[in-house]
Structures are given as structure tokens and as C-alpha cells.
Amino acid sequence: MERRDFIRKSFLYGAVAGLGTSALGSFTPALAGLRPHITKGNYDLAAVRGTDLVAMFESAMQEMGGMSQWVKPGQTVVVKPNIGWDVIPDRAANTNPELVGAVVRHCLQAGASRVTVFDHTCDNWRRSYENSGIEKAARDAGARIVPGNFERNYRDITIPGAVRLKDAKVHEQILENDVFINVPVLKHHSSTRLTIAMKNLMGIVWDRRYWHRNDLNQCIADFCLYRKPDLNIVDAMLVMTRNGPRGTSTADLVRKNSLLVSSDIVAVDAASAMIFGEEPANVGHLAIAERMNIGNLDLTKLNIQRVYM
């Protein structure tokens, strides 16, 4: 392991005392101390390392106070994984299906009256849903599955305060459900360096081409002014470190054995970036989101629970 990777991981998981401030000093934002924490649950962020993803999720939710912190009896929930690609789970282009199933079960156990899973896929949606393993895992856990690839299911919205993305068409499931849970996979992206929680929201809008033509990083940040997820759960177990977002083979993958949970979409992306080996401030949409007061980029300001399994 390179020294800089060791320092990043030591800070995030607390393996070596005293490294956190020095490791993050190069990107500590001047205004971070003025921004209130976005706290829901027992901690601002839970970071878990282990080898059993479902057990890691169970541990993270226990530390955060349980899914009942976000889902109340009778509420409806929409879960948004990354299901963008027609590839099998071992390629790590999509969210791990076992994690999606576990999230659905926790929502239903918390009393959700309905859980819906969907994504606006890049590849053929039927094949992506099937070959990712997510459709079966979600159905087996008790969720309903709806497609995200038909324009008739999108509604026009406006985004007050946006710089570039002032309006969009958003899938009706985001508008109609009480709770929105975002379950991305951490991986490389050729256009934005990384795709994690913030960029995963591109799967709930219709016209993604507009974003690519009009300052993609700014559009990603702008959209968060309209609707941030209530909870973000990042699959950082098997990570695509190159040729993203679809990948070319298992040679693109590195095992990171991590899971992160937070209500703060910027913080969870910053922590995930560190696991990837990237300075969060070097990821364009994260730096923009921090300047727009969307969330916390400076992890030293947060109450983080670190768990080894």
C-alpha cells in the first residue's frame, strides 16, 4: 500500500491516531466550520470494513440507530441503486444485489408500506435489471420493481438557485414516495473521475445528455438543490478503478471491502473518494457542492463511527 493511501485509510477507519487533520489539511474548506452538520441517526457517517457486505450493512445500520431513523411505519420508500449496465455482479458496474435486498428488508422491517426499486439504465433496462441480479434480489426481499426508461413516467420540476441545471424531468417515484434511499456503487468515471452518491442521481432524471453538454459537474451539484436523498448507502466492496463507468473486465477491479452510510451526500462521497485514493476536492462536483453549502467536504468536522469486522 502506498503511503498516501495508508494515510487516507488510517484517517477514515481510525487505525492510526492523529493522522486525520494532517491528511485532510490540503482540502479543508474555509467555510466548513460555518455549516451545520446534516445529522440523522447516531452519527454523521458510519464507515465499515469487512468481507461480508450484508453483515457490514447490518452493523452500519445498528450503529446509526436503525432504519427507523429514516423510515416510519406506513411510509413509502423508493430505493435507487446503480442498475445502469447489462453486466453480472462480479463486474461491479452496478450496486451489489445482496446489499439492495438487505436495504429493502430493513425498510419493510421498519414498517414501510411499500418499497420501490428503479433506475434509468444506460443499457437495455430489462437486461440490466435481470443480469445485475438486482431485480431478483429486490423482489425476493419484498420490493416492487418499476422501469425508469419511459419518458411518460417523468415530471417537470424547477431547481431554485441552480447555476446551470435550472429545470429537469424527474421520475415520478421520487416525487410520490415519502423516503428516498440512494444506494450507489463506488467506481471510476471517465467524465467526472468518480461516480458515487451524487452522480447516481443522474439515474432519476430523463435528459442526462443536457448535463453532459452543460458543465456536467455543475449540473450534478445543482440537482442536489432540488432533492437530496434521505439516506445514502455506498457499496465500496469491489471497486472499479479504471475504464468506468461500465468497465471492461475484472482486471479493472480492486477489492476495498468498505461500506459507508450517511444522510450527508457530500460527506459520504468525500469519504468514498478517500477510499478510492482520490482527494475529494479534486472531484469537480464535490468541490462545487461544498461551495454551494450542499454538504460537508471536510470529514474532520464530522462525527464518524468506524467499524472493523
DSSP secondary structure string for all residues of 266-292: HHHHHHHHHHHT--GGGSHHHHHHHHT
- pLDDT computed for residue 7 by the predictor: 42
Residues 6+ apart with CB under 8 A from 251: none
- pLDDT computed for residue 41 by the predictor: 80
What DSSP designation does 209 have?
A: H
Q: Strand, helix or coil at 303?
A: coil
Q: Strand, helix or coil at 223?
A: helix
- pLDDT computed for residue 13 by the predictor: 64
Domain boundaries, the chain: 3-308
CATH of domain 3-308: 3.40.50.11440
Question: How many angstroms separate the CA atoms of 10 and 14, rounded?
Answer: 5
Angle at 255 between CA 302 and CA 191, to 5 degrees: 75
- pLDDT computed for residue 33 by the predictor: 32
The one-letter code for the residue type at 122 is C
Ramachandran assignment for 159, one of left (phi > 0), alpha (psi -120 to 50 degrees), beta (any other): beta
What distances in angstroms separate CA 129 from CA 122, 140, 145, 155, 222, one per listed residue? 11, 14, 9, 23, 28
- pLDDT computed for residue 123 by the predictor: 98
The grid coordinates of residue 57 equal 450493512
Question: How many angstroms separate the CA atoms of 75 and 78, rounded?
Answer: 10
| pLDDT in single tens digits along all 309 residues of the chain | 444 444 455 556 653 222 222 232 322 222 233 334 445 788 999 999 999 999 999 999 999 999 999 999 999 999 999 999 999 999 999 999 999 999 999 999 999 999 999 999 999 999 999 999 999 999 999 999 999 999 999 999 999 999 999 999 999 999 999 999 999 999 999 999 999 999 999 999 999 999 999 999 999 999 999 999 999 999 999 999 999 999 999 999 999 999 999 999 999 999 999 999 999 999 999 999 999 999 999 999 999 999 999
Question: How many angstroms separate the CA atoms of 4 and 12, rounded?
Answer: 13
Q: Which of 286, 309, 275, 271 is nearest to 44 (CA)?
A: 271
Count other C-beta atoms under 10 Å from residue 17's C-beta: 7
- pLDDT computed for residue 26 by the predictor: 29
